[in-house]
Amino acid sequence: MSRTPLPYNPKILELFRNPKNLGKMEDATVTAVAGNPLCGDMIVFYLKINSKDVIKNASFESFGCAANIATSSIVTEMIKGMKLENAWKISWKSVVEAVGGLPSVKFHCGILAVGALKRAIRTYYKNKGVSPDWLTKEPTFEEKQALEEEELAKILSKRMKAEEEK
């Protein structure tokens, strides 16, 4: 039987088939979930952060499409060894560039990956009770996308739970 590839560039297909840093991290310093229940894409980011605010390890779990897996994989690669301040500066556009481009209908996958990263960083400082001056008070564009979506998921699962209990 002949085989026809998915309409992604080779780099995305490679990352989709052989993702880096896939799986749960038991000793993570911080975890962040970002989901879009409308398209079904959902990711969990795990970061291991040392006392100097450097990301020592990063991994992810994904319940999404190839673009979602590829962008999450590349973000976890990019941030390993990075200071949180520098990781914070990663934009979704640079992630799309790093995977060699995405179809425009898949841009939201890159946004979701960066949103998960930024939410993890924000949560880390919130837990620590510290607020560095580079950390914006207002949520960033990417966080907003992930936040709203996660809240939507919460609302839906709450409603389902209420029904199950009846």
Residues assigned a catalytic role: 39, 109
Does 119 contact another protein by CB under 8 A? no
| Residue 39 engages another protein in binding (rule: CB under 8 A) | yes
Range in contact with another protein (rule: CB under 8 A) among 19-27, 39-47, 53-61, 77-85? 39-47
129 binds another protein, rule: CB under 8 A: no
How many CA atoms are closer than 13 Å to the CA of 166, on its beta-carbon side?
A: 6
Radius of gyration of the chain (CA): 16
**What is the residue-wise DSSP string for 72-107?**
HHHHHHHHTT-BHHHHTT--HHHHHHHTT---GGGH
The one among 51, 105, 133, 165 contacting another protein by CB under 8 A: 105
Nearer to another protein, 81 or 148 (CB): 148
Q: Which amino acid belongs to residue 22?
A: L
Q: Residue 103 or 132: which CB sits closer to another protein? A: 103
3-state secondary structure of 118: helix
9 binds another protein (CB under 8 A): no
* Binding residue for another protein, selected from 9, 103, 128, 141, defined by CB under 8 A: 103
Distance CA 137, CA 117 (A): 16
Q: State yes or no: residue 101 binds another protein (CB under 8 A).
A: no
- Angle between the 66-79 and 107-128 helix axes, to the nearest 10 degrees? 40
**Which amino acid makes up residue 42?**
M
SS3 71: helix
Question: Which residue, 41 or 143, has its beta carbon nearer to another protein?
Answer: 41
Question: Contact positions toward another protein, by CB under 8 A?
Answer: 1-7, 37-42, 63-68, 103, 105-106, 156-157, 159-160, 163
